[in-house]
Amino acid sequence: MTDFSLASLRAAAAMVHAQVPPTPQYAWPLLAARAGCDLWVKHENHTPTGAFKVRGAITYIDWLRRTHPHVTGIITATRGNHGQAQVRAATAAGLEATIVVPHGNALEKNAAMRAFGATLIEHGHDFDSAKAEALRLSTKQGLFMVPAYHDELVRGVASYGLELFDAVPDLDTVYVPVGCGSGLCGTIAARDALGLNTKVVGVVSAHVDAAKRSFEAGQLLASPTAYTFADGVAVCTPVQAALDYFGPRADRFVAVTDHEVAAAIRHYWQDTHNLAEGAGAVALAALLQEKEAMQGKKVAVILSGGNGDMSQMAEILGGATPVVRQDMRKAI
């Protein structure tokens, strides 16, 4: 396993900070009053790609350049945030970047990936199809296939955990969104490297809860579908390596409904004037679900991204919960 010692994580954070400044953590009084606790928000929606994944891409591409010096281009499948991060880091390192997305992917996210320099390919109507096409093209075109989870991604992502814990070291609990697991594992790695006792709670969609059920069963379990508008956590099959790491180290998991997530997005807007994407708001939704148990405690939530679809955001801020088409499956 990759070295997750404090020295290693500090070195990774220095690499990240050479490109991406630390994001703020704010204690918003209106949000704290709503939650009934001393609440801190870690604003990963303030990164150059609008989501936390930009961090792990920096350390991953550095590792790739060192260990595979003959690679000239990468390829990966995504629905948005993972792809933006990888394109940004790859092009900065002089690599070509090809991204495969399913048809019907958010136009704003596609435009952002192209703006960072991606060759964007639309294939299939769900993430599984896009991933299969990316794997096929990686062999055909000699491109390096970037996975959704890797220890080097975790090293980079852990930098937000170090920033948060350095600023607020006496947290009782941190709620972290869980897709493929790099955010949860990175937060745990930072906590453990600093020797803290903070409880780290994973948060999933109640409609795609495979990571929660896998954690509770101690073995990999899958969800048949991923019908949630919080596409950043819509992962049907967890990653075994991630489960192996967070399984014995996370405190618990919480599952939140789309209605709870939509409400949390509105709360963020009303109380902080930050616009969170679906996956970015699940941590706050989980805290509000456990509001009674968290009364008076010092708590943090990770606002992991702000790249919501404009039409969905308009619908949510208008008081509704988006209905997900049944051709939407697995997203990273």
Same domain (yes/no): 69, 134: yes
Same domain (yes/no): 82, 219: no
DSSP-assigned letter for residue 294: T
pLDDT in tens, 188-236: 999 999 999 999 999 999 999 999 999 999 999 998 888 899 988 988 8
Same domain (yes/no): 124, 221: no
| Letter string b/e over residues 32-51, b meaning 16 or more CB atoms within 10 A of that residue's CB | bebbbbbbbbbbbbbbebbb
Same domain (yes/no): 96, 13: no
**327 pLDDT more than 80:** no
Mean pLDDT, residues 288-303 taken together: 98
Residue with tokens 């399913």: 102
Mean pLDDT, residues 30-44 taken together: 98
| Nearest-angstrom CA–CA distance, 278 and 271 | 17
Same domain (yes/no): 64, 19: no
Same domain (yes/no): 159, 123: no
Residue 122 in any domain: the answer is yes
| Domain stop point among 98, 124, 145 | 145
**What are phi and psi for residue 174, nearest 5 degrees?**
-125, 130
**145 pLDDT more than 70:** yes
Residue 331 in any domain: the answer is no
From residue 121, alpha-carbon distances to 76, 103, 237 in Å are 10, 9, 24
Residue with tokens 């010092």: 298
131-135, 276-280, 281-285: range with lowest mean pLDDT: 131-135
**Closest Cα to residue 39, out of 305, 294, 259?**
294
- Residue 12 near residue 51 (C-beta atoms within 8 A): no
218: left (phi over 0), alpha (psi -120 to 50) or beta: left
Confidence (pLDDT) at 330 = 44
**328 pLDDT more than 70:** no
**Closest Cα to residue 126, out of 283, 272, 330?**
330
Residue 103 in any domain: the answer is yes
Pair of tokens at residue 175:
């709620």
Mean pLDDT, residues 314-330 taken together: 79
Amino acid at 83: G
Residue 322 in any domain: the answer is no
Same domain (yes/no): 130, 220: no
Residue 235 in any domain: the answer is yes
Same domain (yes/no): 184, 48: yes
Domain with 81, as residue range(s), is 53-145
| Domain stop point among 145, 180, 213 | 145
Confidence (pLDDT) at 181 = 95
Confidence grade of residue 331 (pLDDT, cut at 50, 70, 90)? very low
Residue 186 in any domain: the answer is yes
Same domain (yes/no): 96, 200: no
From residue 90, alpha-carbon distances to 17, 87, 116, 146 in Å are 16, 5, 10, 11
Confidence (pLDDT) at 129 = 81
Taking all residues of the chain, what is their mean pLDDT, rounded to a whole number?
94
**Closest Cα to residue 159, out of 202, 185, 190, 199?**
190
- Residue 137 near residue 121 (C-beta atoms within 8 A): yes
**168 pLDDT more than 80:** yes
Same domain (yes/no): 170, 259: yes
Same domain (yes/no): 100, 200: no
Residue 17 in any domain: the answer is yes
pLDDT in tens, 123-139: 987 777 888 899 999 99
Confidence (pLDDT) at 325 = 63
Contacts 24+ apart (CB under 8 A), 65-70: 65/93, 65/95, 68/144
Confidence (pLDDT) at 326 = 54
| Nearest-angstrom CA–CA distance, 97 and 118 | 5
β-strand partners of 77: 100
Mean pLDDT, residues 77-102 taken together: 94
Domain count of the fold of the chain: 2
CATH classification at residue 205: 3.40.50.1100
323: left (phi over 0), alpha (psi -120 to 50) or beta: beta
Mean pLDDT, residues 81-110 taken together: 92
| Domain stop point among 111, 130, 145 | 145
Burial class (CB in 10 A: 0-12, 13-18, 19+), 139: exposed
Any residues with CB less than 8 A from the CB of 162 and at least 6 apart, and which? Answer: 9, 10, 13, 190, 193, 194
